[in-house]
Amino acid sequence: MIPARYEAVRFPGKLLKDLGGKAVVVRTYEAAKKTNLFDEVYVVTDSLEIKKAVEAAGGNVLMSLKEHACGSDRIAEAAKDLDVDVVINVQGDEPFTRKEPLEDLIAVFKKDPEQQIDVASLVHPLRDWEEIENPNNVKVVMGVDHCVLYFSRAPIPYPMDKSAAICYYKHIGIYAFRKSALKDFAELPMQQNEKAEKLEGIRFLEHGKKIKMVETPYQVVGIDTPEDLKRANQLWK
């Protein structure tokens, strides 16, 4: 599922901007379909303009009828009546979505017959300190089993011991959910840590859900600003 909100705060209407002759959200839909990993792909939106653009390109759309605080809430509403086991959330502004990391997420659930994992997502190593300090790069602390201990916009763990070999990980916001976990998420109250950090993954942790991370070498190319769109068009060419 591809949550697609028209009124993006930093770049309103970005999903309908042109990328190589098609709207950004259409390119993202086509990239997800091209992986051939999914029984079905849907764009989930509250925008009639986005609905029209995706359907004109032959895509499937589910209308979201409510205002939502985050994409996971929007997807939870759309998925509640569908007969599915696992739902993967691909952001609408990620037209360069690749098959390999999505395949890795699906493998987490295939290797979990006892259904201990509620959510799976991706991380990428961060090595530049400026990137580590950047609050737009969400950091993840994991246990030895690669399950999440905490998400933060701050540099965690804090390097009190300068000689310690710390590896920082950036969260890549492609989530895969068991449907049951997605349903629970929409019904669980937001707590103070999620409100403070503005990170929806914290809600799962605070309510005892298990999130498994997969390290990937692939960087996600998202479009958050007009400058990002210019770079994306250059990359598309």
pLDDT in tens, 98-123: 999 999 999 999 999 999 999 999 99
Residues in contact with 220: Cβ distance below 8 Å, sequence separation at least 6, in sequence order: 94, 96, 97, 172, 173, 174
Residue 43 pLDDT grade (very low, low, confident, very high; cuts 50, 70, 90): very high
Give a three-class secondary structure readout of the chain: CEEECCCCCCCCCHHHCEECCEEHHHHHHHHHHHCCCCCCCCEEECCHHHHHHHHHCCCCEEECCCCCCCHHHHHHHHHCCCCCCEEEECCCCCCCCCHHHHHHHHHHHHCCCCCCCCEEEEEEEECCHHHHHCCCCCEEEECCCCEEEEEECCCCCCCCCCCCCCCEEEEEEEEEEEHHHHHHHHHCCCCHHHHHHCCCHHHHHHCCCCEEEEECCCCCCCCCCHHHHHHHHHHHC
pTM of the entire predicted model: 0.87
Residue 37 pLDDT grade (very low, low, confident, very high; cuts 50, 70, 90): very high
* Residue bearing tokens 């019904």: 187
pLDDT confidence of residue 178: 95
pLDDT confidence of residue 139: 96
CATH architecture of 2-227+231-235: Alpha-Beta Complex (3.90)
Mean pLDDT taken over the chain: 92
pLDDT surpasses 90 at 230? yes
Q: How many percent of the chain have pLDDT more than 70?
A: 99
Highest mean pLDDT among 6-15, 21-30, 127-136: 21-30
- The average pLDDT across 2-22 equals 88
pLDDT surpasses 90 at 17? yes
- The average pLDDT across 118-129 equals 94
159 vs 33, 143, 144, 153, 171, CA distance in Å? 42, 17, 19, 15, 19
pLDDT surpasses 80 at 67? no
- The average pLDDT across 190-197 equals 92
- The average pLDDT across 141-153 equals 96
pLDDT surpasses 90 at 147? yes
pLDDT in tens, 203-219: 999 999 999 999 999 87
pLDDT surpasses 90 at 173? no
Q: How many percent of the chain have pLDDT more than 90?
A: 73
